[in-house]
């Protein structure tokens, strides 16, 4: 069955793009020019606000499309971990994560540009990280792998060396909960062809 609507990803994230390609989706990439909010909201409200904002900004530029906005954060206790801005911030994040059970929370928003219907859902995964030595932290930071990642590490790369276990959706930690996305697209009457 051929879908009559286009898919548009409102993100330039290489990980999200790769995941969508891996499941065989035909889509356009049109990153949203949206300033993410990062204060005074709970983690769930924050990712919901950002995913909706990204999808809305990009939806205005497309017809006959389903626009996908996504936002992901790491959370330790009450501390929200976005992408680190510099080496010092990245190290501070790793120190917080070391030996912790933390949450990775993502929101996906899909907007139908014709009907204006919007659907937003949240996914939470629990990640258990090993206790990191000072040397391990410095080596990981020097690799540069976590520079543009929420919470400052990549579970799909060298960061996997320090992850004891996860509870929940692995792909959520990568940056896009695939199972939830499929269910949401199905709700929007979009079939992923295998």
Catalytic residues: 71
Residue 70 CB neighbours (<10 A): 24
Which has the closest alpha carbon to 9: 143, 137, 109, 156?
109
Question: Under 8 Å CB-to-CB from 163, ≥6 apart: which residues?
Answer: 127, 128, 129, 130, 155
Strand 6-9 relative to strand 65-76, pairing: parallel
Which has the closest alpha carbon to 68: 104, 28, 101?
28
Q: Can you tell me the distance from the alpha carbon of 192 to that of 26, in angstroms, rounded to the nearest whole number?
A: 9
Alpha helices in the chain (DSSP H): 14-22, 43-59, 87-97, 134-143, 170-174, 178-187
Which has the closest alpha carbon to 141: 89, 96, 102?
89
Q: Alpha-carbon torsion 127, 153, 139, 97, what sign?
A: negative
Q: Can you tell me the distance from the alpha carbon of 17 to that of 75, in angstroms, rounded to the nearest whole number?
A: 24
């Amino acid at each position: 069955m051929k879908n009559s609507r286009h898919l548009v990803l409102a993100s330039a994230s290489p990980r999200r793009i790769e995941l969508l390609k891996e499941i065989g989706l035909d889509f356009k990439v049109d990153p949203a020019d949206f300033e993410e909010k990062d204060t005074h909201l709970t983690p769930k409200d924050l990712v919901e606000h950002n995913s909706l904002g990204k999808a809305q900004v990009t939806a205005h530029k497309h017809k006959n499309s389903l626009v996908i906005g996504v936002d992901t954060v790491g959370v330790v206790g009450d501390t929200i971990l976005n992408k680190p801005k510099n080496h010092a911030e990245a190290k501070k994040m790793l120190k917080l994560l070391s030996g912790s059970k933390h949450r990775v929370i993502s929101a996906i928003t899909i907007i139908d540009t014709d009907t204006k219907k919007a659907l937003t859902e949240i996914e939470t995964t629990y990640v258990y990280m090993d206790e990191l030595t000072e040397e391990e932290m410095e080596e990981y930071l020097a690799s540069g792998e976590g520079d543009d990642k929420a919470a400052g590490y990549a579970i799909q790369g060298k960061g996997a060396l320090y992850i004891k276990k996860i509870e929940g959706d692995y792909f959520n930690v990568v940056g896009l909960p695939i199972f939830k996305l499929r269910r949401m697209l199905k709700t929007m009457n979009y079939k992923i062809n295998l």
